[in-house]
Amino acid sequence: MESATVATGQGRAEAQPRKLRRDVGLVGLLFVSLGSIIGSGWLFGALNASIVAGPAAILTWIIGGGVMLLLALVHAELGGMYPVAGGSARFPHYAFGSLVGFAGGWFSFLGAVTTAPIEVEAALQYSANYVSGLVEVHGETVVLTFPLGYVVAAALMLMFSFINVMGVKWLSESNKTIVWWKIFIPVLTVGVLVVSAFHTGNFSAGGGFMPFGWKGVFLALASGGVIFAYIGFEQAIQLGGESKNPKRNIPLAVIGSMILGVILYICLQIAFLGALNPGQLGHGWASVGFSGNGELYGPFAGLATALGIGWLATLLYTDAILSPGGTGLLYVGTSSRLSFGMGRTRYLHPAFSKLNDRGVPIVAIIFSFLVGMIVFMPFPGWQQLVGFITSATVLGYAMVPLSLGALRHQDPDRERPFRLPGESTLPILAFIVANEVLLFSGWAVVWKLIVAIFIGVALVAISAAFASKEERPHIDWAHGWWLAPYLVGMGVISYLSSFDTKTPSSVLGLDGPTNTLKFGVDTLVVAVFSIAIYLLAIRLRLSPERSQEYVGDLTAEADEEEQALKRTPA
């Protein structure tokens, strides 16, 4: 049992039991996930999905919702088995050891650390309606101006970081109120648009219901921002160790937030399609946009302005600051806690795990700020950032079905408050669909993700080089070498695939994608490849004894804090 030494008026008292405070009830847990799902995705997703898929974007939201719900349910079983803080980044460590554990944590970190910048960019794009000079249009892409746009973006990122350094208790206390606002505004938007203007002919205009075929439907999952909009359900998993009655609350929060999110986003897409002026569709769906003074603004605010509903546009511009701002602040904290956790597990330098007097990992927060600012540079637009965040996050999600399949063998007797049906079938399916989404992101995104992975490996190598032998984690290469052919294989398939997200130039002499694997063939190849990797990974899993050693390390962080308390004078 974890314990802590408690200070009293007479000095140090006896060590008292230390337990995670399970203060988060069902509504609180539900709103943490739902509040993360409703961010900038709802502000831009409908337009970008329509450009890529046309009216068939409705199908994209349905398919994307099913994909994310399946991945969420996989998380829910492990969250019930191991209700620990930051669980989704720790499950791979339990199943495959340090090599895969770091990879899972790094993938999750990449997804989280790039979310805050995209929320900042979304807020600035909307703010440009009132404050000129923050963004500009290059071709079809809205980018931050230099230096003003980047300076303001840096200031917002710095503010998020400062609040995290000072503590974010106030945010958790007010989260329910913020989420009620986040729910109210999009629901109000749907109702007002449907009543004010609904052109049924739009659903067959511009080339019919499915002008870009099924390929457009699947491509919109990643590049259209659909999967990105659904990201956030894992926040309930991360708070699993602080949830009341996790047997009931974790599955309900995960499933409930996803169902509400799917319904909301489908309704938003339908309202957006119906409210468009039919004259805008004369040149096809790829030309749909809303401009003013040379700048591209948010689609729903643009619709409200075009329809003469000024009060709704004002509310939308206000929400465009509150919704992304709250989500960005949350993800600065999430990304810093992930790097903090990798410091505690010795994947990164121990400095990442050091706490200041307020109990905050200040080095990890500074690192998240710096990485977040770098992210603005190679991905200058919302849609470009969406592809990277989606790929990184889904790659982190993909580690969890593998972990579930392994831990069912390694820890079969542990209580499972929620059990995903289908034994090994659904975990394999979840792994396949995660890799399909990665394929849909396109080579233009995948190569950047591969580079980011190598950066992570370099950080680990640097950390190990300056760490003592005792501080270096055991690599567990024999149980994680499958990771190399998995990542290389996905890169090769992406390069040979038919999914082109407008790669601007060659990378290391590779122009890609080559379209060698035609549409349909490339998705089939990914499915077969995923099954092979899944079976290989399960075969190479840790032994039950070794796995239990890593699960037993859950108290190591608390023990370290306890020793620090004991070393502190009364």
> What value does the mean pLDDT take over residues 126-143?
72
| Per-residue pLDDT tens over the stretch 207-263 | 889 988 888 898 888 777 888 889 888 887 776 655 677 777 878 888 889 999 999
pTM listed for this prediction: 0.80
Beta-carbon-side half-sphere exposure of residue 535 (alpha carbons within 13 Å) = 6
> Which residue has better confidence, 446 or 435?
435
Is 1 inside a domain boundary?
no
Q: Residue 94: which of 542, 564, 533 has the closest Cα?
A: 542
Q: At 565, which amino acid appears?
A: L
Q: 278 lies in a domain?
A: yes
Domain assignment present for 14 = no
Residue 100 lies in a domain: yes
Residue 156 maps to which CATH number?
1.20.1740.10
3-state secondary structure (DSSP) of residue 253: helix
pLDDT at residue 511 above 90? Answer: no
Helix (H, G, I), strand (E, B) or coil at 15: strand
DSSP 453-491: HHHHHHHHHHHHHHS-GGGSPP--HHHHTTHHHHHHHHH
* pLDDT at residue 563 greater than cutoff 60: no
CA 67 – CA 203 distance, rounded (Å)? 24
Whether residue 4 is contained in a domain is answered as: no
Separation of alpha carbons 122 and 131, rounded Å: 14
Check pLDDT > 90 for residue 458. Answer: no
Taking 50 as the threshold, does the pLDDT of residue 6 lie above it? no
Domain presence at residue 2: no
User: What's phi and psi for 180, nearest 5 deg?
Assistant: -60, -40
Condensed to tens digits (0 to 9), the pLDDT of residues 286-299 reads 777 765 433 345 68
Q: What is the dihedral of CA 133, 314, 375, 146, to 10 degrees?
A: 0
Predicted confidence at residue 385, as pLDDT, reads 66
Range 324-341 average pLDDT: 76
pLDDT of residue 96: 94
Who wins on pLDDT, 337 or 81? 81
* ∠ Cα 214 215 221 (to 5°): 95
In 489-551, where do the E strands start and end?
Answer: none
Number of domains in the chain: 1
The pLDDT of residue 147: 85
390 in a domain, yes or no? Answer: yes
pLDDT value, residue 337: 72
Q: How far apart are CA 122 and CA 102, in angstroms?
A: 30
User: Residues 533, 482: contact at Cβ < 8 Å?
Assistant: yes
Question: What's the CA gap between 342 and 339, in Å, rounded?
Answer: 5
Lowest mean pLDDT, pick from 52-61, 167-176, 289-298: 289-298
What is the model's pLDDT at position 192? Answer: 95
560 pLDDT more than 50: no
pLDDT value for 2: 38
Give the tens place of pLDDT for each residue, 464-478: 777 777 667 777 889
For 67, the domain range is 21-567
